[in-house]
């Protein structure tokens, strides 16, 4: 069995302990054994990033461009191979896996360009003969803690801007998906990056993650994951004065009005709720449907949901891959029980599937006759589970859509410009989709939510600069 080590100060370093990476489509398939670091190794990784950060902060835009562009080009050229690896360890289908690798490449390309565009401002002072310069500097060391659902794209959209703006990186991927992270860092290790600038430290959240969050040498922490972990990280990192950026859960609504194109609406619902096995923080889990279109929508959505083919992520006929692991599958099934007990009507799916290969398969579940107070409409399930809520008109739909502690993405299907415009304005989500699924975003524009979904400044696009830089204001008197 091949062992994969951590990358610290430009070297591959073995660990005392290794964890098996299991294919969720076929649990007899072990992808490899991945290092699980202890606190002392994490400390070494942080120290090496800290030592490297000063000179990397002085690197030229051209050096940064060359490295990020190299990574982008290799991701593009190896998208089939790395997409297959991603599908094998995470359970996404092959097109989804390859698409995610391409996305990671596009993110690196974008930030290669951003490295060349870092600018500041010169303003006239209110005092005579004085100029004011506003510039941006690197933060220093950025700690990154990532989840399992986008094993290469989320690391890419944190690492690429960190490097573009001159920061060093300590990166801890999720325990369940180390192979994509390792592959990305392996590419970076051959990119010409000086030693210590990027460090990969695989291991447990409570050991490695905790050490990153609490180290005084880590100037900023970017986290994507669950609400509970995010809140814990916020209190620890913010209390020592570090910058913090959190992307957490969602309970994203898709409103369907009477005047919607029914086929567009059903397609948005199926894509948004069930693709990637519903394991996206932007997945739609609440379909809020006005009375005039309700019956037709439910009938067509039920048929489309039943027709989804669940199977091995790497089988070309599969539309919905497995759930990530046994624990998540059990949690999804528990939510099915809770919803049924609370009076929701299960119209299809919701059961574990036993296929030829032993894996974590579940038939996508659809509930109708649900109401806003039910747990299924309040808590994030993070699986292929969605529910339908019937409302009388647009006003009730808007109120129901905003009736959540989350605010990541919200969608509306309508042919009315008036309602679409109103929804764009009044939705309490960070991202609003009109006649499009709630999940599926562009790589060159800001990503993030409101309320309990996100904290700190936005990720991605040129907005990422806010988190990965610190502003300096200089006054110059020309005597």
- Angle CA 155–332–22, to nearest 5: 50
How near is the Cβ of 332 to ligand ADP at its closest, in Å?
Answer: 12
Q: Which stretch binds ligand ADP (CB under 6 A): 194-202, 222-230, 292-300, 441-449?
A: 222-230
174 binds ligand ADP per the rule CB under 6 A: yes
With respect to ligand ADP, which residue has the nearer C-beta, 287 or 447? 447
Query: For ligand ADP, which residue of 229, 290, 400, 404 counts as binding (CB under 6 A)?
Result: 229
How near is the Cβ of 174 to ligand ADP at its closest, in Å?
Answer: 4
Query: For ligand ADP, which residue of 29, 63, 84, 210 counts as binding (CB under 6 A)?
Result: 210
How near is the Cβ of 181 to ligand ADP at its closest, in Å?
Answer: 10
Contact 87, 97 (CB under 8 A): yes
175 belongs to the catalytic site: no
Tokens encoding 456: 């700190």
How near is the Cβ of 238 to ligand ADP at its closest, in Å?
Answer: 14
Query: For ligand ADP, which residue of 206, 341, 375, 426 counts as binding (CB under 6 A)?
Result: 206
Across the strands, what pairs with 175?
none
Q: Which of 281, 348, 380, 459 is catalytic?
A: 281
Q: Which stretch binds ligand ADP (CB under 6 A): 52-60, 160-168, 201-209, 364-372?
A: 201-209
Across the strands, what pairs with 8?
11
Tokens encoding 44: 């070494």
Q: Which stretch binds ligand ADP (CB under 6 A): 3-11, 143-151, 409-417, 440-448?
A: 143-151
225 binds ligand ADP per the rule CB under 6 A: yes
How near is the Cβ of 246 to ligand ADP at its closest, in Å?
Answer: 10
Contact 431, 282 (CB under 8 A): yes
Task: Give me the DSSP letters along 97-109.
Answer: HHHHHHHHHHHHH
Q: Is 248 exposed, middle or buried (0-12, 13-18, 19+ CB in 10 A)?
A: buried
With respect to ligand ADP, which residue has the nearer C-beta, 212 or 389? 212
Long-range contacts of 232-240 (CB under 8 A, 24+ apart): 233/145, 233/209, 234/455, 236/210, 237/213, 240/214, 240/216
Query: For ligand ADP, which residue of 68, 86, 145, 255 counts as binding (CB under 6 A)?
Result: 145
With respect to ligand ADP, which residue has the nearer C-beta, 37 or 344? 37
With DSSP H G I counted as helix, E B as strand and the rest as coil, what are the percentages for the chain, rounded to 5?
Answer: 40, 25, 35
With respect to ligand ADP, which residue has the nearer C-beta, 24 or 411? 24
Instruction: Categorise residue 441: left if φ over 0, alpha if ψ from -120 to 50, beta otherwise.
Output: beta
Query: Measured between alpha carbons, how far is 443 from 152 in angstroms, rounded to an integer?
Result: 13
Query: Measured between alpha carbons, how far is 212 from 132 in angstroms, rounded to an integer?
Result: 36
How near is the Cβ of 211 to ligand ADP at its closest, in Å?
Answer: 9
Query: For ligand ADP, which residue of 38, 66, 189, 226 counts as binding (CB under 6 A)?
Result: 226
Measured over the CA atoms of residue 379, residue 384, residue 387 and residue 393, the dihedral's sign is: positive
Across the strands, what pairs with 432?
410
154 binds ligand ADP per the rule CB under 6 A: no
175 binds ligand ADP per the rule CB under 6 A: yes
Site size toward ligand ADP (CB under 6 A) is 17
146 binds ligand ADP per the rule CB under 6 A: yes
Largest CA distance in the chain: 81
How near is the Cβ of 279 to ligand ADP at its closest, in Å?
Answer: 9
How near is the Cβ of 175 to ligand ADP at its closest, in Å?
Answer: 6
90 binds ligand ADP per the rule CB under 6 A: no
Contact 360, 324 (CB under 8 A): yes
Query: For ligand ADP, which residue of 233, 313, 344, 368 counts as binding (CB under 6 A)?
Result: 233
247 belongs to the catalytic site: yes
Q: Which of 74, 90, 100, 247 is catalytic?
A: 247
With respect to ligand ADP, which residue has the nearer C-beta, 383 or 437? 383
Output the 3-class SS for 397-461. HHHHHHCCCCCCEEEEECCCHHHHHHHHHHCCCCEEEECCCCCCCCCCCCECCCHHHEECCCECH
Q: Which residues contact ligand ADP (rule: CB under 6 A)?
A: 145-148, 172, 174-175, 205-206, 209-210, 213, 225-226, 229, 232-233
Active site residues: 247, 281
């Amino acid at each position: 069995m091949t062992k994969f080590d951590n990358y610290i100060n430009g070297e591959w370093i073995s660990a005392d302990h290794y964890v098996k990476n299991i294919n969720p489509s076929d649990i007899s398939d072990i992808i490899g054994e991945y290092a699980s670091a202890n606190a002392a190794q994490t400390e070494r990784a942080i120290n090496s990033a800290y030592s490297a950060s000063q000179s990397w902060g002085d690197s030229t835009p051209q050096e940064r461009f060359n490295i990020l562009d190299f990574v982008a080009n290799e991701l593009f050229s190896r998208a089939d191979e790395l997409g297959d690896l991603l599908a094998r360890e995470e359970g996404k289908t092959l097109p989804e896996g390859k698409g995610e690798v391409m996305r990671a490449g596009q993110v690196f390309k974008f930030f290669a360009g951003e490295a060349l565009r870092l600018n500041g401002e010169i303003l006239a002072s209110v005092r005579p003969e004085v100029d004011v310069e506003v510039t941006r500097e690197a933060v220093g060391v950025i700690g990154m803690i990532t989840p399992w659902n986008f094993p290469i794209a989320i690391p890419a959209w944190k690492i690429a801007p960190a490097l573009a703006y001159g920061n060093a990186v300590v990166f801890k991927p999720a325990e369940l998906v180390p192979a994509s992270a390792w592959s990305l860092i392996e590419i970076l290790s051959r990119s010409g990056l000086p030693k210590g600038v990027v460090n990969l430290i695989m291991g447990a959240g409570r050991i490695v993650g905790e050490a990153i969050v609490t180290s005084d040498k880590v100037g900023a922490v970017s986290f994507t994951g669950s609400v509970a972990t995010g809140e814990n990280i916020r209190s620890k990192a913010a209390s020592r004065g570090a910058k913090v950026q959190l992307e957490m859960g969602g309970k994203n609504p898709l409103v369907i009005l009477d005047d919607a194109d029914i086929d567009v609406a059903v397609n948005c619902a199926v894509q948004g709720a069930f693709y990637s096995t519903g394991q996206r923080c932007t997945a739609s889990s609440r379909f809020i449907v006005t009375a005039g279109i309700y019956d037709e929508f439910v009938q067509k959505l039920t048929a489309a949901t039943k027709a989804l083919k669940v199977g091995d992520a790497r089988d070309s006929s599969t539309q919905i891959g497995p759930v990530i692991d046994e624990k998540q599958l059990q949690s999804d099934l528990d939510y099915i029980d809770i919803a049924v007990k609370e009076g929701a009507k299960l119209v299809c799916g919701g059961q574990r599937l036993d296929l030829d290969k032993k894996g974590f398969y579940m038939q996508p579940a659809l509930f109708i006759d649900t109401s806003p107070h039910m747990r299924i409409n309040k808590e994030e399930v993070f699986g292929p589970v969605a529910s339908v809520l019937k409302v009388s008109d647009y006003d009730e739909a808007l109120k129901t859509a905003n009736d959540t502690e989350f605010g990541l993405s919200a969608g509306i299907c309508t042919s009315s410009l008036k309602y679409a415009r109103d929804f764009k304005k009044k939705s309490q989500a960070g991202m609003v989709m009109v006649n499009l699924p709630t999940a599926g975003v562009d790589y060159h524009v800001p990503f993030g939510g409101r309320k309990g979904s996100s904290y700190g400044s936005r990720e991605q696009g040129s907005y990422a600069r806010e988190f990965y830089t610190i502003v300096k204001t200089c006054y110059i008197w020309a005597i």
